[in-house]
Amino acid sequence: MNIGVIGTGNIGGTLARKLSAAGHEVRVANSKGPDGVRAFAQEIGATPVDIRGAVEGADLVILSIPFPAVATLPKDLFDGLPAATPIVDTGNYYPGLRDPQIAELDAGKTESVWVSEQVGRPIIKAFNNILAHSLAELGRPAGAPDRIAVAVAGDDDAAKRTVMGIVDQIGFDPVDAGMLAESWRQQPATPSYCCDYDAETMHEALLAAVKGEAPKTLNRVYGLMGKLGPNPSHADIIAMNRSVHSGN
């Protein structure tokens, strides 16, 4: 597939690297234009482009930019993209930590529903509830007992199947998380968020999420992260995320 990746941070850059290694034609872009991604693109065997170049002719687009930046994208960015082309949102809203407050989200709107409204297109929510280290280092072959799951939500079944196939191809078990409106179940501070669960446990964690609880839990997570120190290990972060919902 021809895959455009907008955003080359921890998640977007890792996905670009893994998808290029899997044989896809990958184009990468960020806010700095082609020159800003040229060295990275050469390193992973991708093509450096601007954001419009990432979208033009793509079979799949991955949007992996800081959450508030979605609202600053050109409103016509996806106008020429066929309606069936999946657009994947990997982002998360971290109010009070990284992101300014967004009133609609603070009032309870599901994050990726808001993203869909900003870009004017249906989207698929994926790769937002896995840590960058897990994504980069912990992919496993299909059937491996320690294979980690990734939740995938969206309203278009064909687009969702395409994205689930990508999840599987790069070493993770895709778990159908339902419609886009249900993707609040995989947002930060929910039971499924960044816990490195297998597919069965991921499914259970998605079902265990309680509407409206995550914003309250998020403040607790921020506090616990602070106690881990400036350079917590991956294992410490996973253990902390799991403990928030285990009562420990």
- Tell me the pLDDT tens digit for each residue of 158-183: 999 999 999 999 999 999 999 999 99
Q: How far apart are CA 243 and CA 248, in angstroms?
A: 5
Mean pLDDT computed over 183-197: 96
Does some domain include residue 23?
no
Looking at residue 98, its pLDDT comes to 75
CA atoms within 13 A of residue 215's CA, in its CB half-sphere: 14
Contact 128, 96 (CB under 8 A): no
Q: Structurally, how many domains does the chain consist of?
A: 1
pLDDT band, residue 248 (cuts 50/70/90): low
Does some domain include residue 120?
yes
- Whether 14 shows a pLDDT value over 70: the answer reads yes
Strands, E assignment, 87-246: 87-89, 124-126, 149-154, 173-176
Q: How many helices (H) and strands (E) does the chain have?
A: 10, 8
- Whether 35 shows a pLDDT value over 70: the answer reads yes
**Listed residue (229, 236, 227, 45) closest to 131, CA to CA:** 236
Does some domain include residue 33?
no
**Listed residue (154, 44, 202, 180) closest to 5, CA to CA:** 44
Q: Strand 124-126 and strand 60-63: pairing?
A: unpaired
Does some domain include residue 133?
yes
Question: CB neighbours (10 Å) of residue 194?
Answer: 23
Could you report the per-residue pLDDT of 221-242, keeping only the tens digit for each?
Answer: 888 877 887 888 999 999 989 9
Q: Strand 124-126 and strand 149-154: pairing?
A: antiparallel
Bridge partners of residue 48, in order along the sequence? 28
- Whether 247 shows a pLDDT value over 70: the answer reads no
Could you report the per-residue pLDDT of 64-107, keeping only the tens digit for each?
Answer: 998 889 999 999 999 999 999 999 999 998 887 777 888 899 89
Does some domain include residue 51?
no
- Taking every pair of Cα atoms in the chain, the longest distance, rounded to a whole number of angstroms, is 50
Output helix, strand, coil percentages for the chain, rounded to the nearest 5.
45, 15, 40
Give the domain range for residue 152: 66-246
Looking at residue 176, its pLDDT comes to 98
CATH of residue 151's domain is 3.40.50
Q: How far apart are CA 61 and CA 82, in angstroms?
A: 11
Does some domain include residue 105?
yes
Does some domain include residue 146?
yes
Does some domain include residue 173?
yes
Structure tokens at 170: 């790069």
pLDDT band, residue 9 (cuts 50/70/90): very high
